[in-house]
């Protein structure tokens, strides 16, 4: 298998196996005009297998969405064929319009213009709660 290097863009690395397609869909990478490569089940010394996404253009990546899906991700920023920066993600304290509250009684189910806002309430177990109704966010 031969996946070329990228001149300018991102290498989203150390994605937990199976999460690359979730990231692809959540970041709407299919709508881009540039090349996007998805590598699944690549060998990894650290975790056995991992997924990798290469984006052939410097776009605005939503780091909160990426960290929410998988906080172990590393983002390599590539310019002129060189990695100029490595970003290690951490769980965001607040998620805004990343997910929807699944509580049918939450005000966000009737007031559609309200932002969907969740606060990290348990860092060890990665638990977020809706700021309006305190419903626990279902990661699925």
Residuewise pLDDT in 10s, the chain (140 residues): 566 788 999 999 999 999 999 999 989 999 999 999 999 999 988 889 999 999 999 999 989 889 988 888 999 999 999 999 999 999 999 999 988 999 999 999 999 899 999 999 998 898 999 999 999 997 65
Tokens of 125: 């177990």
Using only C-alpha atoms, the chain has a radius of gyration, in whole angstroms, of 17
| Residue carrying the six token digits 């969740």 | 118
Please indicate, yes or no, if residue 21 is contained in any of the structural domains. Answer: yes
Identify whether the C-beta of residue 91 lies closer than 8 Å to the C-beta of residue 126.
yes
Number of domains in the chain: 2
Please indicate, yes or no, if residue 45 is contained in any of the structural domains. Answer: yes
Identify whether the C-beta of residue 55 lies closer than 8 Å to the C-beta of residue 9.
yes
In a shared domain, residues 13 and 35: yes
For residues 45 and 84, what is the distance between their CA atoms, to the nearest angstrom?
A: 23
In a shared domain, residues 72 and 124: no
Q: Give residue 77's domain range.
A: 9-88
In a shared domain, residues 47 and 116: no
Q: What number of other Cβ atoms are within 10 A of residue 100's Cβ?
A: 14
């Amino acid at each position: 298998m031969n996946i070329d290097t990228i001149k300018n863009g991102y290498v989203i690395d150390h994605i937990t196996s199976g999460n690359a397609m979730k990231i692809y869909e959540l970041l709407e990478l299919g709508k881009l005009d540039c090349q996007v490569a998805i590598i699944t089940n690549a060998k990894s010394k650290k975790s056995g297998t991992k997924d990798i996404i290469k984006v052939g253009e410097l776009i605005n990546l939503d780091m909160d969405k990426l960290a929410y899906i998988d906080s172990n991700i590393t983002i390599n920023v590539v310019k002129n064929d060189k990695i100029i920066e490595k970003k290690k993600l951490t769980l965001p304290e607040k998620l805004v319009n990343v997910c929807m509250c699944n509580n049918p009684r939450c005000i966000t189910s009737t007031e559609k213009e309200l932002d969907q806002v969740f606060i990290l309430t348990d860092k060890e177990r990665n638990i977020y709660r809706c700021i309006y109704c305190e419903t626990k966010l279902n990661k699925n």
